[in-house]
């Protein structure tokens, strides 16, 4: 079954020879368009074709897609894989995990992820996002 969004995404990635990268580009394009099911399919294919399953960006966007579909356990696993494979700055993965843990009332784990994100981000918008999520944690704990 081919949707118009999927066919548009495939046209964009047509010149890419590496199947991992081709599927990543298709998946990323579908994420931008909000086609979560198509994005998940393409990003899973990207991970499948990656050498040694090394595809950190595919895992990150897979986590975002699962989060949008409220498949939180799968999103958490994808975000953990992203952080595990991340070479340097993994702030976005820590923030994604913090959001998922907050949504699932796993506040101690969320606090740890916020701490990690702030340590990596410093004085950037992502660092500010970490502080914001700290506020959400304490609001949920009713510790004002």
Give the span between the Cα atoms of 86 and 93, in whole angstroms. 9
- Is the pLDDT confidence value at 88 over 90? no
- Is the pLDDT confidence value at 1 over 90? no
With the C-alpha atoms ordered 31, 15, 46, 129, is the resulting torsion angle positive or negative? Answer: negative
Task: Tell me the backbone φ, ψ of residue 101, rounded to 5 degrees.
Answer: -65, -40
Task: Look at the block and give the residue holding tokens 């996002």.
Answer: 129
The pLDDT of residue 120: 75
pLDDT tier for residue 12 given thresholds of 50, 70 and 90: low
Summarised one tens digit per residue, pLDDT across range 27-81 is 999 999 999 999 999 999 999 998 888 999 999 999 999 999 999 999 999 999 9
Task: Look at the block and give the residue holding tokens 């081919």.
Answer: 2
- For residue 72, with 0-12 CB atoms within 10 Å meaning exposed, 13-18 middle and 19 or more buried, which class applies? middle
The pLDDT of residue 55: 92
The pLDDT of residue 110: 95
pTM for this prediction: 0.84
Give the span between the Cα atoms of 105 and 127, in whole angstroms. 22
pLDDT tier for residue 6 given thresholds of 50, 70 and 90: low
Q: What is the mean pLDDT of residues 97-116?
A: 94
pLDDT tier for residue 15 given thresholds of 50, 70 and 90: low
The pLDDT of residue 116: 87
Give the span between the Cα atoms of 99 and 93, in whole angstroms. 10
Residue with more model confidence, 115 or 119 = 115
The encoded tokens of residue 114 equal: 């916020």
Of 11-20, 48-57, 108-117, give the lowest mean pLDDT range. Answer: 11-20
């Amino acid at each position: 079954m081919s949707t118009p969004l999927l066919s548009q995404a495939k046209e964009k990635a047509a010149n890419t020879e590496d199947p991992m990268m081709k599927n990543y580009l298709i998946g990323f394009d579908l994420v931008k368009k909000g086609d979560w099911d198509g994005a998940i399919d393409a990003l899973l294919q990207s991970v499948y074709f990656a050498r040694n399953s090394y595809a950190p960006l595919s895992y990150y966007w897979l986590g975002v897609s699962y989060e949008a579909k409220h498949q939180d356990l799968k999103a958490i696993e994808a975000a953990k894989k992203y952080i595990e494979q991340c070479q340097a700055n993994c702030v976005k993965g820590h923030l994604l995990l913090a959001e998922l843990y907050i949504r699932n009332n796993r506040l101690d784990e969320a606090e740890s992820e916020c701490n990690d994100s702030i340590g990596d981000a410093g004085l950037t918008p992502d660092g500010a996002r970490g502080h914001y999520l700290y506020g959400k944690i304490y609001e949920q704990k009713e510790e004002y």
